[in-house]
Amino acid sequence: MDFGFDARTEELRAQLQDFMDSHVHPAEPVYAAQLAEADDRWAAHPPVMEELKAEARRRGLWNLFLPGEHGAGLTNLQYAPLAEIMGRSRLGSEATNCSAPDTGNMEVLSLFGTPEQRRRWLEPLLAGEIRSAFCMTEPDVASSDATNIGTRITRDGDHYVINGRKWFSSGAMNPRCAIFIVMGKTDPDAERHRQQSQVLVPRDTPGVRIERSMNVFGYDDADHGGHAEIVFEDVRVPVDNVISGEGEGFAIAQARLGPGRIHHCMRAIGMAERALELMCRRANERVAFGGPLADQGVVQHWIAESRVKIEQARLLVLKTAWLMDTVGNRGAHTEIQAIKVGVPEMVTWVIDRAIQAHGGAGVSQDSPLASLYAHARTLHIVDGPDEVHRRSLARRELKKYKTQ
The footprint of its own copies on residues 278-307 (CB under 8 A) is: 280-281, 283-284, 286-289, 294, 296-301, 303-305, 307
Cβ contact 272:342 at 8 Å: no
Q: What are phi and psi of 101, to 5 degrees?
A: -90, 10
228 binds its own copies (CB under 8 A): no
Please give the residues from 365 up to 394 whose contact with its own copies meets the rule CB under 8 A.
365-366, 370-371, 373-374, 377-378, 380-382, 385-391, 393-394
Helices (H), ranges, 6-165: 7-19, 25-37, 47-58, 76-87, 92-95, 102-112, 115-117, 123-126
48 binds its own copies (CB under 8 A): no
- CA 371, distance to chain mean position in Å, is 15
Nearer to its own copies, 122 or 317 (CB): 317
Residue 155, Cβ density class (10 Å: 0-12 exposed, 13-18 middle, ≥19 buried) = middle
268 binds its own copies (CB under 8 A): no
Give the amino acid at 77.
L
Sign of the CA dihedral with 239 first, then 179, 217, and 345 last? positive
**What is the C-alpha separation between 88 and 81, in angstroms, rounded?**
11
Q: What are phi and psi of 3, to 5 degrees?
A: -95, 10
User: With CB under 8 A, what is the number of residues at the site for its own copies?
Assistant: 97
Nearer to its own copies, 33 or 54 (CB): 33
224 binds its own copies (CB under 8 A): no
**What is the C-alpha separation between 97 and 32, in angstroms, rounded?**
19
CB of 204 to its own copies, least distance (A): 26
Give the amino acid at 344.
P
Judged by CB under 8 A, the residue of 34, 163, 205, 356 near its own copies is 356
216 binds its own copies (CB under 8 A): yes
Per CB under 8 A, the segment of 83-91, 179-187, 219-227, 255-263 that binds its own copies is 219-227
Cβ contact 263:103 at 8 Å: yes
CB of 394 to its own copies, least distance (A): 4
CB of 371 to its own copies, least distance (A): 7
**What is the C-alpha separation between 37 and 47, in angstroms, rounded?**
12
Judged by CB under 8 A, the residue of 204, 218, 291, 404 near its own copies is 218
Mask 99-138, x = binds its own copies (CB under 8 A)? Answer: --------------------------------------x-
215 binds its own copies (CB under 8 A): yes
CB of 283 to its own copies, least distance (A): 6
7 binds its own copies (CB under 8 A): no
27 binds its own copies (CB under 8 A): no
Please give the residues from 166 up to 205 whose contact with its own copies meets the rule CB under 8 A.
167-168
CB of 373 to its own copies, least distance (A): 7
49 binds its own copies (CB under 8 A): no
Judged by CB under 8 A, the residue of 112, 131, 335, 350 near its own copies is 335
**What is the C-alpha separation between 398 and 391, in angstroms, rounded?**
10
Judged by CB under 8 A, the residue of 238, 277, 330, 331 near its own copies is 277
Judged by CB under 8 A, the residue of 61, 235, 252, 318 near its own copies is 318
Among residues 122, 139, 114, which one has the least CA distance to residue 178?
122
Which three-class secondary structure state does DSSP give residue 3? Answer: coil
14 binds its own copies (CB under 8 A): no
DSSP string for residues in 297-334: HHHHHHHHHHHHHHHHHHHHHHHHHHHHHHTHHHHTHH
